[in-house]
């Protein structure tokens, strides 16, 4: 596609439920990133994939958060036992390789945990 796409655009769930957020990167981009943005804050790094592997998952807040990228393209961010504090906009970005390349962001998924 022309850009990074994310689905759904909005997700409302109840405390304790499981959610999956999907990211489709720009075709051919090998690097993929997830960020979380709370209201009034800048995006906060969660995890970085190089191909199929998670090169850096140091930003995941706890073991309720997990992400996969099984074929090196689409990625899914999974959140178990959601809490109200998980409410935020989850942003995905991709770049062609890594190091020197610009990151291109998707529109985000707004997650609301009631």
Partner 1 sequence: KQEVTQIPAALSVPEGENLVLNCSFTDSAIYNLQWFRQDPGKGLTSLLLIQSSQREQTSGRLNASLDKSSGRSTLYIAASQPGDSATYLCAVREGGATNKLIFGTGTLLAVQP
Contact residues toward partner 1 (CB under 8 A) are 4, 31, 33, 35, 40-45, 48, 55-56, 58-59, 91, 93, 95, 98-100, 102-108
Closer to partner 1 by CB, 20 or 44: give it: 44
Closer to partner 1 by CB, 83 or 98: give it: 98
Closer to partner 1 by CB, 8 or 16: give it: 8
**Chain-centroid distance, C-alpha 60:** 10
- Cβ neighbours of residue 34 closer than 8 Å, sequence gap 6 or more: 23, 45, 46, 47, 67, 75, 77, 90, 91, 92
Q: How far is the CB of 53 from partner 1 (least distance, A)?
A: 12
Q: How far is the CB of 45 from partner 1 (least distance, A)?
A: 4
Q: How far is the CB of 18 from partner 1 (least distance, A)?
A: 25
Q: In angstroms, rounded to a whole number, what is the distance separating the alpha carbons of residues 106 and 109?
A: 9
Closer to partner 1 by CB, 34 or 82: give it: 34
Q: In angstroms, rounded to a whole number, what is the distance separating the alpha carbons of residues 84 and 25?
A: 28
Q: In angstroms, rounded to a whole number, what is the distance separating the alpha carbons of residues 92 and 90?
A: 7
């Amino acid at each position: 596609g022309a850009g990074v796409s994310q689905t759904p655009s909005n997700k409302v769930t109840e405390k304790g439920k499981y959610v999956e957020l999907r990211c489709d990167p720009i075709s051919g981009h090998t690097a993929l990133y997830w960020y979380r943005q709370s209201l009034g804050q800048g995006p906060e790094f969660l995890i970085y994939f190089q191909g199929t592997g998670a090169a850096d998952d140091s930003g995941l807040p706890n073991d309720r958060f997990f992400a996969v990228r099984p074929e090196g393209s689409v990625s899914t961010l999974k959140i178990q036992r959601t809490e109200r504090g998980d409410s935020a906009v989850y942003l995905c970005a991709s770049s062609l390789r890594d190091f020197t390349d610009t990151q291109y962001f998707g529109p985000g998924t707004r997650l609301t945990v009631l």
